[in-house]
Each structure stands twice: as structure tokens, then as C-alpha cells.
């Protein structure tokens, strides 16, 4: 016999991961009390379009909703939007809210995601932006005009996507990265080089191997960026895209193990009735044993579903979360897709297409085993190689074209 | 079961095909989802619901 499910489940964080949990619970037949707490005023909405369709203006904010209002209604939630969890008491099993009062629970899921990292001292300077929330995206979009000088600090997926959109809007874009190549650490020199080439072709100026030191401002408005090597880049607007930090501040002193995120076990359980899902969750990957935290949209949904199942399975029956991570990125006309892990691998082999054609599939291997696959403009073909990642197949023995 | 797809939202992730290969496929060129079976048998319902839930673009709507 399974233990009876917890009578009251509370989920903090009303975005992709939190929604995954509550939908997963209802789909599995959970009929108990379910509270979803989110500090944003909106119904759960999607972030990937913030740096893509919303930023280009192709979509209005009305298209971002993860589910229609009726579908959310049908979940039968005690939904608290515009409400921030400010503290957790794991002894009395209560979440304290900024509006006063508390929510009791038998099982709690932390799905509070991550917040954009800022450059020190730049918060509140007009013209300096991050890109994480709908309001961020709308504020940044308003800067994108022909001729505006934009400095993008950071050249990860977010910075690269924003640079592409900004060029499309006619901005003069300079991308600053401390790496040798934009996305070079994720994609390696060949694909990173191809991508850098695409940006340059579209008129993005890439300043690599240096960091942004400080933002220069005049009367509270950004005028440029001083690099750590002393150079100054003039700017009318600055986008800070240097990563995100997990939202765990409200858990301080609760006894929930914190490090880079909520430190869970392999089943995403952090002890004393607390689970975590999405960008905030840090867990030992069952296959590699090392702790990871993944900031991908698909991971948030999948972890939400996994946590829902594990809560209902009850103690001793929860199963480890063992995904093949997936992420995509759109830049100009390119669609990049990645299954598994590419960072830190020692071999890249292109198995279909070619960089010159901007259409290819590449396998990333470490010690002769396939760890990741990257596709450029070949979505269906790329998916075909996912199995090699799932099996960590030997690079040579398998169907490599 | 009624399945509706928003082709415009679809980002070609193929997660739906992994979850329900009997029901979904992807176009070769841009990876946009293709519905193979608009009225799948009951034993596929669970897979289809899972596909809708993992789709990173919220492009799949399933009723009931
Ligand atoms: C601009 C942008 C583009 C992206 N593009 C892609 C992409 O192309 N592909 C991809 O795979 N991934 C992409 N991502 C990443 C993806 O969006 C995230 O992995 C995903 O949103 C994580 O979901 P989450 O629910 O874990 O966290 P979040 O989306 O961060 O949601 C957490 C929610 O919790 C709320 N919250 C935080 N603290 C509290 C509190 N104390 N009380 C109440 N509520 C709280 C937050 O306000 C937020 O609403 C992108 C992200 C951004 C920002
Ligand atoms: S999972 Fe969603 S986004 Fe991906 S191919 Fe299927 S419908 Fe499109």
C-alpha cells in the first residue's frame, strides 16, 4: 500500500516548473488542497519568447500564457498571484507571505526559479536592462530603435538572441564576452565560430576576451560601458545578460539545504517535506553523480512532472530524476537545438550537413562516449541522434554518417 | 479526445514526438509539429497529455 497522499500541497513559484507540478498532480488524480503562490501578477507565462517573438514585436504579451485562464481554473487551485513567499518554517510547515498570513502544507515544492544577475551598481540606471520577466522585456524592447547604440554584456544564448533581435530592429549592437567566442564554451570552436560569423555578417560587433567593468552614466542615464581592459564603449542602452541566480533568499534560516539553488537528492527531495523543481533545483544527476542545476524550459516542465509523481509515490518509492537535457535557441534564421551536454567534452564530430550551409548535426563526445548532440536548422534529424546521448553510446561504433 | 495545435507557437522541440510517437511527428525542414492521428485511441491519451505538458512552447492543447 502506498502511504496516503499529503492532504495539503503548496507550490511556490507560478511559472513553468510550478505549473508542471500542479498539472502533474491533478493529472495523476490528486484531489487534495493545492495552493500555488507566485509573486508576479500574471497567470503563468512563458519566458523563451521574451527574447524572441515578444522582443521582435511579432507577438503581444497576450500570447505568452502557458495555459488559458479556463485551463488554470479547471485545476481547482488556491491561486495566490502577486504574492511573495518571504520565509519558510519547516517545523510548523508554513510558508509566510509578504501580504501577511501564512500557508500551511504537508508537502511543499520550491519552484521559485532564478533572477537575472546584474552588474554591480547598475540597478536603477536608466538605459540598463536585464531580460527575465515580461516587464523587463517590454522595457528593453522600448529601447530598440534604428541607430540606438546597444551594448550587450554577455554572449550566452540570451545575449546572442537579444543581439540578433536588436540588429533586426536597426540598433547598432556590440556584444561583449569574456570568452574567446560567443557561446564558444557551450558549442566549441567550430560551431561557436560559425555562430560568431553569423552575428558579424549581420553587423554585430563582437568584443571578446574582456569583461564589462562598470557602466558609465550621466544624470542617471547610461552613456557607455568601461571594459576591464580600460576601453570604453559608448552606449545609449546596455543589456546585462550575464546569467541568473537561483531565488533562494526567502529560504534562509529554514534549514532547507542551499548551495547553488536548493540542494535536493536525486529524487528532487530536499528533506522535511520540501521538494524543488526547475531553475532553482540542484540535484545529483543519477548518471554522472555530479550536482547540476539546469536553466532550460523543458527541464522545468519535466522536473515539475517528476516532483508531482514523487510526492504521490510517497517515501521510499520516489524515483531519481534522470533526464536528457534539451535546450534550443533562435538567432536570425538559425534554430539551434542541443540534447545532453556539450560543455567540457573533448571531441566534436559533424555527422550531417556542414557549417558553411548553416545546416548540420554534430555529436559531442567525451572519452569516446556521446554526451551531447547539437543541431542547426535540422530539427527532425537532430532528434534522431538523441538516443545516442541517452545511451552514452560509443562515438565510433554507432550509425555515424 | 480533441487535440489542437498552435503551429505558430511550436518551436520544433520534438518533445511531443518523444512522448507520443504514434500521434506526433515533425516536418523535416523546420521541425514544426505534424499531427499523425487527430483522434488517437484511448491507450494513447496518457502519452498525448504528457506531450502537451512537456511541450516547451505550450503549443498543444488537449481536451478533455
Ligand atoms: C528571456 C529568456 C529566454 C529563454 N529562452 C529559452 C529557450 O529558448 N530555451 C530554453 O530551453 N530555455 C529558455 N529560457 C529558460 C527558461 O525560461 C527557464 O528555464 C524557465 O523559465 C524556468 O522555469 P521555472 O519555473 O523553474 O523558473 P522561473 O521561470 O524563473 O519562474 C519562477 C517564478 O517564481 C516566482 N518567484 C520567485 N521567488 C518567489 C517568491 N519568494 N514567492 C513567490 N514567487 C516567487 C518568480 O517571480 C517566477 O514567476 C529562457 C529564459 C529567459 C529569461
Ligand atoms: S513539443 Fe511542442 S514545440 Fe516541440 S515539436 Fe512538439 S508541439 Fe512543437
Q: Which residue of A lies nearest to B59 if distances are taken between CA atoms?
A: A66
3-class SS of residue A256: coil
Cis peptide preceding A341, ω within 30 of 0: no
CB-based contact A119:A228 (threshold 8 Å): no
Would the pLDDT of A399 be above 80?
no
ipTM given for this complex? 0.88
Would the pLDDT of A181 be above 70?
yes
Min Cα separation B26/chain A (Å): 6
Neighbour count for residue B51 (Cβ, 10 Å): 23
Q: What is the pTM of this model?
A: 0.95
- At A268-297, the pLDDT tens digits run 999 999 999 999 999 999 888 899 999 999
The predicted structure's pLDDT at residue A19: 97
Q: Which residue of B lies nearest to A296 if distances are taken between CA atoms?
A: B56
Q: How confident is the model at residue A401 (pLDDT cuts 50, 70, 90)?
A: very low
- How wide is the angle at C-alpha A202 spanned by C-alphas A142 and A349, nearest 5°? 120
Identity of the residue in B30, B54, B58 whose CB atom sits nearest the CB atom of A302:
B54
CA pair distance B2, A38, nearest whole angstrom: 30
- At A296-329, the pLDDT tens digits run 999 999 999 999 999 999 878 999 999 999 999 9
| Substitution site in B3, B6, B8, B14 for ligand 2 pocket (most atoms within 8 Å of beta carbon) | B14
The predicted structure's pLDDT at residue A289: 85
CA pair distance B40, B20, nearest whole angstrom: 10
B14: cell is 520534438
The predicted structure's pLDDT at residue A397: 61
Would the pLDDT of A208 be above 80?
yes
- At A232-273, the pLDDT tens digits run 999 999 999 999 999 999 999 999 999 999 999 999 999 999
Please, what is the angle between helix B45-54 and helix A16-27, to 10°?
170
Min Cα separation A66/chain B (Å): 6
End-to-end CA separation in angstroms for chain A: 50
CA pair distance A129, A241, nearest whole angstrom: 9
The overall average pLDDT reported for chain A is 94
Reference B20, options B6, B2, B34; nearest CA is B34
The predicted structure's pLDDT at residue A260: 97
Q: How confident is the model at residue A34 (pLDDT cuts 50, 70, 90)?
A: very high
CB-based contact A88:A253 (threshold 8 Å): no
Q: What is the mean pLDDT of the segment spanning A96-125?
A: 96
| Secondary-structure percent of chain B, ordered helix, strand, coil, rounded to 5 | 30, 20, 50
CB-based contact A97:A83 (threshold 8 Å): yes
Q: Which residues of A touch B27 (CB under 8 A)?
A: 380
CB-based contact B25:B36 (threshold 8 Å): yes
CA pair distance A35, A105, nearest whole angstrom: 9
CA pair distance B55, A146, nearest whole angstrom: 35
- At B32-41, the pLDDT tens digits run 999 999 999 9
| Substitution site in B5, B15, B52 for ligand 2 pocket (most atoms within 8 Å of beta carbon) | B15
Proportion of chain A above pLDDT 70, given as a percent: 98
- At B4-29, the pLDDT tens digits run 999 988 988 889 999 999 999 999 88
Q: How confident is the model at residue A52 (pLDDT cuts 50, 70, 90)?
A: very high
CB contact under 8 A, A48 and B9: no
Amino acid at each position: 500500500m502506498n502511504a496516503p497522499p499529503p492532504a495539503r500541497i503548496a507550490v511556490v513559484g507560478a511559472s513553468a516548473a510550478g505549473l508542471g507540478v500542479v498539472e502533474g498532480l491533478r493529472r495523476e488524480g490528486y484531489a487534495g488542497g493545492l495552493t500555488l503562490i507566485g509573486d508576479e501578477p500574471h497567470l503563468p507565462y512563458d519566458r523563451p519568447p521574451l527574447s524572441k517573438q515578444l522582443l521582435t514585436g511579432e507577438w503581444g504579451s497576450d500570447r505568452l500564457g502557458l495555459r488559458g485562464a479556463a485551463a488554470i481554473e479547471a485545476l481547482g487551485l488556491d491561486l495566490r498571484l502577486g504574492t511573495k513567499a518571504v520565509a519558510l518554517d519547516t517545523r510548523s510547515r508554513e510558508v509566510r507571505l509578504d501580504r501577511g498570513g501564512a500557508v500551511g502544507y504537508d508537502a511543499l515544492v520550491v519552484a521559485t526559479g532564478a533572477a537575472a544577475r546584474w552588474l554591480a551598481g547598475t540597478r536603477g540606471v536608466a538605459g540598463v536592462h536585464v531580460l527575465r520577466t515580461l516587464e523587463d522585456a517590454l522595457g528593453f524592447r522600448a529601447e530598440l530603435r534604428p541607430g540606438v547604440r546597444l551594448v550587450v554584456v554577455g554572449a550566452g544564448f540570451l545575449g546572442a538572441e537579444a543581439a540578433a533581435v536588436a540588429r533586426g530592429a536597426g540598433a547598432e549592437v556590440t556584444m561583449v564576452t569574456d570568452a574567446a567566442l560567443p557561446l564558444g564554451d557551450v558549442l566549441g570552436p567550430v560551431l561557436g565560430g560559425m555562430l560568431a560569423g553569423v552575428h558579424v555578417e549581420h553587423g554585430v560587433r563582437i568584443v571578446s576576451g574582456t569583461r564589462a567593468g562598470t557602466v558609465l552614466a550621466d544624470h542617471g542615464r547610461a552613456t557607455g560601458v568601461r571594459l576591464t581592459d580600460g576601453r570604453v564603449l559608448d552606449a545609449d542602452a546596455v543589456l546585462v545578460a550575464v546569467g541568473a541566480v537561483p531565488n533562494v533568499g526567502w529560504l534562509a534560516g529554514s534549514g532547507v539545504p542551499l548551495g547553488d539553488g536548493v540542494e535536493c537528492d536525486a529524487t528532487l527531495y530536499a528533506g522535511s517535506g520540501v521538494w524543488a523543481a526547475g531553475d532553482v533545483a540542484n540535484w545529483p544527476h543519477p548518471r554522472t553523480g555530479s550536482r547540476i542545476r539546469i536553466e532550460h524550459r523543458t527541464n522545468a516542465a519535466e522536473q515539475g512532472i517528476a516532483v508531482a509523481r514523487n510526492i504521490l509515490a510517497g517515501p521510499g518509492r520516489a524515483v531519481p530524476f534522470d533526464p536528457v537535457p534539451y535546450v534550443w535557441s533562435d538567432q536570425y534564421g538559425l534554430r539551434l537545438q542541443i540534447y545532453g551536454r556539450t560543455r567540457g567534452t573533448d571531441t566534436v564530430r559533424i555527422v550531417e550537413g556542414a557549417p558553411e550551409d548553416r545546416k548540420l548535426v554534430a555529436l559531442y563526445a567525451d572519452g569516446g562516449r556521446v554526451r551531447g548532440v547539437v543541431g542547426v536548422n535540422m530539427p527532425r534529424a537532430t532528434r534522431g541522434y538523441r538516443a545516442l546521448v541517452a545511451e552514452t553510446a560509443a562515438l565510433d561504433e554507432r550509425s555515424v554518417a | 479526445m480533441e487535440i489542437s495545435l498552435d503551429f505558430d507557437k511550436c518551436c520544433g522541440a520534438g518533445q511531443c514526438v518523444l512522448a507520443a510517437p504514434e500521434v506526433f511527428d515533425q516536418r523535416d525542414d523546420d521541425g514544426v509539429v505534424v499531427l499523425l492521428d487527430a483522434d488517437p485511441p484511448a491507450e494513447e491519451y496518457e502519452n498525448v497529455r504528457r506531450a502537451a505538458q512537456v511541450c516547451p512552447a505550450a503549443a498543444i492543447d488537449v481536451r478533455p
